[in-house]
Chain A
Amino acid sequence: MLTKRIIPCLDIKEGRTVKGVNFVELRDAGDPVELAKIYSDEGADELVFLDITATVDKRKTLAELVTKVAKAINIPFTVGGGISSVEDVKVLLNAGADKISINSSAVKNPQVINEMAAEFGSQCIVVAIDTRNVDGIDFVHTHGGRKATLLKTQAWAQEVCDRGAGEILLTSMDHDGTKAGFANELLSEVSSSLSIPVIASGGAGTMGHFRDVFTFGKADAALAASIFHFKEIGIPELKSYLAGSEISIRK
């Protein structure tokens, strides 16, 4: 049976992990490769690296990092942050990334989704959508959730699916950082209407939240950052909890 995926997300700046991580076994707390290896050994199903490097110039370090990660780990990983062209994607896939994710650039130029899917196949194109509820309606936001757009979340999710996205990474900015649970209602609506997998992000605080996002939220995968980095929840204990809650999970 196909299992639900647990995905730790690592924020990267100039080739180093940002946001404190609390791993005593890390010799170098800023080394993404070492952290990736630990998560992979602990049973993470996939990893996401989100590059938040501000300048284009320094992004070159990202491809080098991708190569190091690809050499070190044997589970799939996605790279996102600042990707806008077919050429950007080519560099990262050739470096060894399994998938790339695009966000603001897809909103700015939706056609780029078609181009990337045609060139590399839908399976490696993840479209990340940041959403925020404004007066009862879910709107797509860009630039880390700061900039509102006129796109309605559900309609945009359908459009990116039609244009050839292979997966959607849906982050609720209303839930992100709250540790109060995922945006299950919205996730369930989006996931039920689409023929491609949805990765839920934003709001993980307890193991029960993961159970809920897979049952009520109908998510195919769940992503979280700080609760894993600060060891509030360990991946092995989360997986045995979910298996005990009758969620199909890889042991």
Chain B
Amino acid sequence: MKIAVIKYNSGNVQSVLYALERLGADAELTDDPEKIRNADKVIFPGQGEASTAMKYLKGRNLDQLIKVLKQPFLGVCLGLQLLCEHSEENDTECLGVFPVKVKRFVPENSQEFKVPHVGWNELENLVPNPLLKDLPANPFVYYVHSFYAELSDLTIAQTHYIHDFSAILQRDNYYAIQAHPEKSGLVGEKLLSNFLSI
């Protein structure tokens, strides 16, 4: 099984590759459309700023490619946000795979709720889904983000910080996780290995 990890100007892709390596997966970091199209699974990682990332993807026509892929596809962190319709981060039009809006956390009480949302938080209201198979109840995952996707019909797990938001989204072959599975201990490993088995 060949896994393509989409290369773009985003930070810390290395950790995703190492996590896949720990699972014994054959992954390659690439922005070659041919390799992405022919991969068995595609992972779209990310950390960084939405408009810069979208520009990079458009510059290589990867935005068009991502939208028509048929194999299991996993967005992570910024990858989830870019799969949505629009992000408040620099008013960015995103890929629109999920008809969901991405908003900035605005705490009413900035002493109690700091932004970014950094640390371990729970996945709640898990919907039966192959990606969430055999997870413990309310598992903890590691978050670092200032923007979140709103709840939607496509939400298959949610997390509460200030309010509920979409922790994991799914539509057809597209899956996306706001937290960092590659940094989320055994739970993260399970999420990634579940994805690899889809």
B1-29 residues with Cβ-Cβ distance < 8 A to A are 11-12, 14-15, 18-19, 21-22
Binding site for B on A (CB under 8 A): 1-5, 40, 45, 70-71, 74-76, 93-96, 98, 120-124, 166-167, 191-192, 194-197, 218, 220-221, 250-251
Tell me whether A1 and B121 are in contact (CB under 8 A): yes
Closest Cβ neighbor of B186 among chain A residues: A74
Closest Cβ neighbor of B160 among chain A residues: A1
Q: Which residues of A contact B117 (CB under 8 A)?
A: 2
Q: Report which residue of A3, A5, A74, A94 has the largest number of chain B beta carbons within 10 angstroms of its beta carbon.
A: A74
Tell me whether B114 and A74 are in contact (CB under 8 A): no
Residue from A1, A4, A74 in contact with B189 in the complex, judged by beta carbons closer than 8 Å: A74
Given contacts A75-B183, A197-B119, contact A124 B11 (CB under 8 A): yes
Given contacts A1-B160, A74-B22, contact A250 B114 (CB under 8 A): no
Closest 9 CB pairs of A and B: A250-B120, A250-B140, A123-B144, A96-B14, A195-B110, A76-B183, A2-B121, A3-B120, A71-B18
Contact with A along B111-125 (1 / 0, CB 8 A): 100111111111000
Tell me whether B21 and A122 are in contact (CB under 8 A): no
Tell me whether A2 and B161 are in contact (CB under 8 A): yes
B129-149 residues with Cβ-Cβ distance < 8 A to A are 140, 142-146
| SS of B interface (majority) | mixed
Tell me whether B14 and A74 are in contact (CB under 8 A): no
Closest Cβ neighbor of A124 among chain B residues: B11
A93 to B13, CA, bound (A): 9
Q: Which residues of B contact A251 (CB under 8 A)?
A: 140
A197 to B160, CA, bound (A): 17
Contact with A along B25-65 (1 / 0, CB 8 A): 00000000000000000000001110000000000000000
A191 to B112, CA, bound (A): 10
The yes or no answer to B185 lying at the interface (CB within 8 A) is: yes
A196 to B189, CA, bound (A): 28
The yes or no answer to B184 lying at the interface (CB within 8 A) is: yes
Closest Cβ neighbor of B115 among chain A residues: A195
The yes or no answer to B188 lying at the interface (CB within 8 A) is: yes
Given contacts A1-B121, A123-B118, contact A96 B49 (CB under 8 A): no
B20 to chain A, nearest CB (A): 11
Given contacts A93-B11, A96-B14, contact A2 B22 (CB under 8 A): no
A182 to B137, CA, bound (A): 34
A95 to B48, CA, bound (A): 17
Tell me whether B119 and A192 are in contact (CB under 8 A): no
Q: List 25 A-B contacts (CB under 8 A).
A: A1-B121, A2-B121, A4-B119, A45-B120, A70-B14, A74-B184, A74-B188, A76-B142, A93-B12, A95-B14, A96-B14, A121-B11, A121-B49, A122-B116, A123-B116, A123-B145, A124-B12, A166-B144, A194-B114, A195-B110, A195-B114, A196-B116, A197-B114, A220-B114, A220-B119
A194 to B142, CA, bound (A): 22
A120 to chain B, nearest CB (A): 6
Q: Which residues of B contact A195 (CB under 8 A)?
A: 107, 110, 114-115
Q: Report which residue of A93, A122, A123, A196 has the largest number of chain B beta carbons within 10 angstroms of its beta carbon.
A: A123
Q: Which residues of A contact B142 (CB under 8 A)?
A: 75-76
Tell me whether A166 and B116 are in contact (CB under 8 A): yes
A169 to chain B, nearest CB (A): 13
A75 to chain B, nearest CB (A): 6
Q: Which residues of A contact B140 (CB under 8 A)?
A: 3, 250-251
Tell me whether A70 and B15 are in contact (CB under 8 A): yes
A196 to B48, CA, bound (A): 18
